Structure 1
Amino acid sequence: MSKIIKQLDWFLIGPFLFLSLIGVLMVFSSSDDYSAGAFSFLIRQSIFALIGIATVFVFYFFVKIDWLASPKWTSLAMLITFGLLLFARFIAPATAGTGAHGWINLPMFNIEPAEIFKIVIILYLASLSSHRLDKYQRKSRGTRPHRPPNLNNQNTTEKVKMIFGYTRFQVIFVLSNLLIVVLMPDLGNALIALFLIAVIIFSSGPNPKYLFLSIALILLIYIFLPLIIKQIPESFLSSHYQARRLLIFMDPWPYAKNQSLQLVNSFYAIAHGGLFGVGLGNSIEKMGYLPEANTDFIMAIFVEELGSISLFIVLGLLLIMIGRMFYIAFHVRNNFGRLVLYGIASYFFIQALVNLGGIIGALPLTGVTFPFISYGGSSFLISSISVGIACVVSRTYSEQIKTRRRESRQRARMRK
């Protein structure tokens, strides 16, 4: 037993377990005003957490990295995801109130295919890219795994056939999945998925200038977003659910009693909590004032009850996990492991950033959950699978270190 405990990567497992526990407590605390009752949500989230924890350990001890890296397996996963997205958009009933088609409702639980798409797209693109990089390195002999080839050095024929190292069919397949997420409409998850696609692409070889140009473009859009929104007729913004979020982002206060009710009450919750909070279970805003208190806006309730100091602790735990993923990615010799860790670390980072940015009004509201804290089976289980995959790469990295030490000892003996 002690040997198994020593094998675990506690920089990944530790923060995951703490965040899962905090999530269960906060879902219970923030669900007082729901008709189903807080204990009902406590039981459900506890079940999600236990399944998620079991999933992480199953991945850590039993899943091999070669299975995850198989292009056949990841292509099948993408095809299944595509089918789920089509079903959710065109067959499953729309969500009451918003009219969005994002869920597949089952008797015991609900599935959100857009959440599945985010991890599957990481695996799919990482698998394709690593397969190409491995092939290139076998030919060139000695190319270091963390120094991928520049795709712009390919000959003219390859440039015509390939787009950033992927075939036209692969690009169309990925964009088709992304388009369905946009049509749901689920712009929050669509933008996160697009960001993750960019991370994998830029981590696998294209000229760095494209990365800098993309970052510059995103910053310019964010800076000039208020000016862009002002050019759109207010009648259009107020009559479309997704566009209405841009109107709220510009100025929430004129719409405090209707469209921006959530955001304004999120401000009140954060202000009420201050540095140290009003105590676990003592939130005022969760008592019918702040809709979606246990999902999208759970961090506003968290700050109200436990304070901004506790928020920094949660962010610190998440950053330890993300930092560990980047550290392993920089050092692991496996191309697939490196790329998939870049994707998963970026997934946690952008998911938390978009959620917190929305509740403080720094970004338009997108309906994105906070990793491990927000209520929801799809979000929690996909996040747990992501940690499990990171653990598989961590185990590969540990084996790599052991091999290096063994080789070093052998060389030392030979010198003697």
Structure 2
Amino acid sequence: MRRKQGSIDYKILITTIILIIIGSVMVFSASWPYATRIQNDPYHFVKKQIIFLIIGFVAMYITSKIDYKIYKQYAVILYILTICLSIIVLFTGDVETYSAKRWITIKSITIMPSDFLKLGTIFAISRYISSNYKKINTIAYGFVPMILFAAISGFLVYKQPDLSTTLVILALIVSMFIIAGIDMKYFTLAVLGIGAVGIIGIIGSKSIYSRSSRIEAWLDPLKDFSNTGWQLAQSLFAISYGGFFGVGIGKSRHKFSYLSEAHNDFIFAIICEELGFIGAMIIILLYIYLIYLGMKLAFSLKDVFAKFLVIGIMLLLGIQSFTNIAVALGLIPPTGLTLPFISYGGSSLIVYMTMIGIVLNVSRTVNRR
């Protein structure tokens, strides 16, 4: 059955907008004490976030109108461009945080190339799978290309260094190939490989942000409470303080110099404190519903490229969202990942809104089973 031209999936659009609205409110709530202290302007971060949102909505509108088939045509070029951007940051990146170079600043605009590399990787893998779908269960056309994609995309991000994003990209690549039908006996090898990369990365990284002390702080955040365990401990305190119903929007205590990334990586902890268990569960359910809608769309498609384009986007959204949430809850070691649509950050917000625009275009232009 052919879906009527011009009829986008409004459930996906509305769910995304709800998350964005929640994110805008929480960015302001979580950031104003810090913004007041460093900029003497409580609206500093939320004003920048609004600018990012405007750019994001423009990008989402444009990509919802562009025929998704163009990405298949230029997938290799787009992937190479994002690779080049990731190489450039290694040599010219001039914003350093936690001993890492991950950003490129052009005048007053700061971009994170790894966000664009995620999308470029999805384009490239979707095209590859669509061209080799019937041979993907072989070593030559399945396992080897998966390792090559993982090596190229993963290595560039790891060298920044950004171990958490590296592991997200590796998980994305392996998951896409598994869904495509790679021989499952290679799944164990892939998982062991990712695990080995993670362990080597943690031990070998020179970055303060990702060294093994982070594992120790995760296992016992109170052991080194004033140093490496501080952030996670404060996150857990904020979550427990929120209880079932929360203390109310704007009434968080832990955003006052306790959580240093309150409006960014640890915004979910502030959500739990202010909105409580109920508010946190609503947000988690919104993510689950959005991913469900995307996957339902993907598995109804005949076009293999379109199918894996949507699958890749939804996998990335799911992996990054639930990794961020798991970190805030202390379920996995601390990382430096944003919460899609909710955390403060230009590159992440714009790229994810762009990806939703692509999904919306797919929903309005393709044949379904």
TM, length-normalised to structure 2: 0.89
Distance across 2 between alignment mates of 1:116 and 1:338: 20
Q: Which one has a bigger Cα radius of gyration?
A: 1
Q: Counterpart of 1:104 in 2: which secondary structure?
A: strand
Please show how residues 279-358 of structure 1 align to structure 2 within 5 Å.
Answer: 279-358=248-327
Please, which of 226, 229, 236 is the counterpart of residue 267 of structure 1? 236
Q: Provide the C-alpha distance between the structure 2 equivalents of 1:113 and 1:130, rounded to a whole number of angstroms.
A: 26
Q: Deviations over 1:343-374 (max 9, x none)?
A: 11111111011101111111011111101000
Q: Distance in 2 between matches of 1:352 and 1:173?
A: 22
Within the candidate set 312, 325, 328, 1:359 is matched to: 328
Map of 1:46-65 to 2, 5 A cutoff? Answer: 46-60=50-64, 62-65=65-68
Whole-Å separation in 2 of the counterparts to 1:89 and 1:150: 33
Whole-Å separation in 2 of the counterparts to 1:92 and 1:239: 16
Q: In structure 2, what is the equivalent of residue 112 of structure 1?
A: 112
Where relative contact order (Cα < 8 A, 6+ residues apart) is larger, the structure is 2
Trace 1:362-401 onto structure 2 (pairs within 5 A).
362-397=331-366, 400=367
Distance 2:189 2:155 in 1: 23
| Separation in 2, partners of 1:150, 1:119 | 21
Contact 2:100/2:207 (8 A) holds in 1: no
The reply on whether 1:211 has 2:187 as its aligned counterpart is: yes
Q: Matched residue of 1:288: which SS?
A: coil
Alignment partner of 2:70 out of 55, 67, 71: 67
CA distance in 1, matches of 2:170, 2:331: 20
Partner of 1:187: 163
1:87 aligns with 2:73: no
Q: How does 1:242-257 map to 2 (within 5 A)?
A: 242-243=210-211, 244-257=213-226
CA distance in 2, matches of 1:218, 1:323: 29
4+ runs deviating over 4 angstroms: 170-174, 212-215, 236-240
C-alpha distance after superposition, 1:50-88 (max 9, x if no partner): 22222222222x211210111xx1211122212211221
Given that residues 129 and 165 in structure 1 are in contact (C-alpha distance below 8 angstroms), is that contact kept between their aligned partners in structure 2? no
Contact 2:143 2:186 in 1 (8 A): no
Counterpart-to-counterpart distance in 2, 1:128 and 1:176 = 15
Q: Distance in 2 between matches of 1:151 and 1:239?
A: 38
Deviations 1:96-128 (A, max 9, x none): 4x1101111222321101111111101111012
Q: 1:237 Cα deviation (Å)?
A: 9.8
Cα distance between partner residues in 1 of 2:46 and 2:164: 27
Root mean square deviation of aligned Cα: 2.8
- Within 1, Cα distance between the matches of 2:205 and 2:220? 13
Give the unaligned 5+ runs of structure 1.
134-147, 153-158, 405-416
In structure 2, the partner of 1:411 is none
Q: Structure 2 matches for 1:132-151, cutoff 5 A?
A: 132-133=132-133, 148-149=134-135, 151=137
CA distance in 2: counterparts of 1:190 and 1:237, whole angstroms? 12
Q: Is the 8 A contact 1:237 1:247 kept in 2?
A: no
Query: What's the counterpart of residue 407 of structure 1?
Result: none
Q: Note if contact 2:121-2:153 (Cα within 8 Å) is conserved in structure 1.
A: no
Structure 1 residues 382, 150: closer, same or farther in 2, change over 3 A?
closer
TM-score normalised by the chain length of structure 1: 0.79
Query: Unpaired runs of 5+ in structure 2?
Result: none
Query: Residues 150 and 169 of structure 2 are in contact (CA less than 8 Å); yes or no, is this contact kept in structure 1?
Result: no
**Alpha carbons 1:249, 1:364 under 8 Å: kept:** yes
Cα contact 1:22–1:373 (8 A) shared by 2:
yes
Query: Per-residue displacement from partner, 1:261-309 (whole Å, max 9, x unpaired)?
Result: 1111101110111111111111100011110110001110111111111
2:126 maps to which residue?
Answer: 126
Instruction: Tell me which residue corresponds to 1:44.
Output: 48
Corresponding residue pairs, total: 359
- In structure 2, relative to structure 1, the CA distance for the partners of 1:66 and 1:320 (3 Å cut) is same
Cα distance in 2, alignment partners of residues 102 and 116 from structure 1: 12
